[in-house]
């Protein structure tokens, strides 16, 4: 019974996600589902990306957290429309949560909607929210064992961003193994190596994203 129930929940979610995707596409909005474990640096990455593309790409952001508004406040300070979703215990956003708040987002005034999902390495990958692309941010401080321990997010994502590479000299972590295991799980995965703190590697990521958004327009 549990398997059937889960299947029904995912099927219902997928129907709502398709409706979200159509609304966003009709509005000419490119949509990214940004996922990671807690503390990997999603909000900092988003902050630096928005600043780098200021005046060229118009952003809207949906912030997903179990509680609190800190991340939404950080992004709102950049004069970007932000909507906060507090899941009150749920470990992910789902399509229905996005559907409920889409009317509040000024879709005609943005080029890309970034959905910053709840920090979790498992649940967010299971639920389509209506995005065009799933992007996974992974802090190398998490260790090289994570792709094989938590494969689904690596398999579902189109892009893997390895963050905090400025710490590599001080860590006993094998970045080549992280990349090799991730590619083994998902041969089409695009990988960027960055440091949100130092800015290393960010130019390549920002240029790639700008091209994606413009091509989809």
The answer on pLDDT for 78 being more than 80 is yes
Q: Write out pLDDT tens, residues 136-161.
A: 999 999 999 999 999 999 999 999 99
Q: Which residues contact 28 (CB under 8 A, 6 or more apart)?
A: 111, 217
- 6 — pLDDT class (breaks 50, 70, 90): low
Averaged pLDDT score across all residues of the chain:
95
Which band of pLDDT confidence, cut at 50, 70 and 90, is reported for residue 217? confident
- Reply yes or no on whether the pLDDT at 1 is more than 50: no
**Residue where the block lists tokens 């889960």:** 6
Q: Supply the pLDDT for residue 9.
A: 75
* Extents of the domains making up the chain: 2-216
User: Average pLDDT for residues 80-92, to the nearest whole number?
Assistant: 95
**Cα distance between residue 24 and residue 31, in whole Å:** 7
pTM value?
Answer: 0.95
Cα(164)–Cα(206) distance, integer angstroms: 16
% of the chain beyond a pLDDT of 90:
92
CATH architecture of 2-216: 3-Layer(aba) Sandwich (3.40)
* Residue 103, burial from CB neighbour count under 10 angstroms (0-12, 13-18, 19+): exposed
30-54 confidence digits (pLDDT tens): 999 999 999 999 999 999 999 999 9
Between CA 39 and CA 217 the distance in angstroms is 32
């Amino acid at each position: 019974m549990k398997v059937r129930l889960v299947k029904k929940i995912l099927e219902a979610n997928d129907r709502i996600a398709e409706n979200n995707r159509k609304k966003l596409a009709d509005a000419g909005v490119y949509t990214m589902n940004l996922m990671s474990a807690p503390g990997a640096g999603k909000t900092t990455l988003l902050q630096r990306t928005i600043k780098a593309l200021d005046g060229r790409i118009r952003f809207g952001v949906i912030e997903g957290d179990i509680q609190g508004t800190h991340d939404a406040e950080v992004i709102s300070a950049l004069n970007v429309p932000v909507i906060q979703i507090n899941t009150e215990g749920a470990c992910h956003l789902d399509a229905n949560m996005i559907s409920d708040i889409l009317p509040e987002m000024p879709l005609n005034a943005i080029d890309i909607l970034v959905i910053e999902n709840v920090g979790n390495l498992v649940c967010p990958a299971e639920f389509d929210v209506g995005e065009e692309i799933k992007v996974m941010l992974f802090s190398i401080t998490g260790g090289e064992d994570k792709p094989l321990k938590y494969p689904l997010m690596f398999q579902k994502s189109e892009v893997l961003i390895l963050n905090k590479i400025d710490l590599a000299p001080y860590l006993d972590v094998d970045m080549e193994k992280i990349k090799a295991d991730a590619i083994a799980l998902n041969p089409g995965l695009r990988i960027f190596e960055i440091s949100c703190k130092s800015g290393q590697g960010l130019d390549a990521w920002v240029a790639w994203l700008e091209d994606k958004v413009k091509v989809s327009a």
